[in-house]
Structure 1
């Protein structure tokens, strides 16, 4: 099971990584993110990394990168993590990437989903998802939430991470 860890900050650098044949093919990138307190994380971005809303990220953008906290990591500084999901921050939406149980509550117990008939439920490729999204890894895009514990929200969109 994936444990989604995140790092939030400002993009300070984007570079192409060297491919298998020693050339920079442009398919894989290294995105450096700094959190404003001096901490830096380098995200290894591949064609399988999912960008919410297919947003194009540039230097200076505020982003949150999600990676597998259970995956092995090289002991180097700054740390490098393969990016699973990248979110370009927007003042009009919140994003939560996590495992949601049978009650549609996140694994950290901080968010519970109330799905409405207007909630769009799709796969990462944009195709409709016709099953119950419970007991799955989800990318949840939502607006306002209650101040209860867990917070409750009716998401705008749920992206099922198969």
Structure 2
């Protein structure tokens, strides 16, 4: 995987992929979002706009999660720019898309929210949605049908 900022977009499995990448990569890793994400239960969470605090946290923990507290226990984008985080860690992995926990997704015109200076973008698709009704498996099913010619059941 390329060092720097990686955006993970799409649907079912993004958060799991972030966790797996953090475990598999050697070097320091910041997990974060450009939209919304739930914090990881077993990964230290850092909420700060102080880059020195980030560096100290990465010296203690190879992997940290960063963001700004939001509604329903979720996080939004961190206070520090992604490019600043990329200077502090080997890898900044950004969940750059939301899919309402559904396995498939159709992007609206304002999505995905890929940070500037992203070096790699990975698109995830949840195969568990294949062969199932559009309205049960696709985030934005009306948009999906309009773009593909599919019909809701």
Q: TM-score, normalised by structure 1?
A: 0.26
Q: In proportion to residue count, which structure has more helix?
A: 2
Point out which structure has higher relative CO (alpha carbons under 8 A, 6+ apart). 2
Q: In proportion to residue count, which structure has more strand?
A: 1
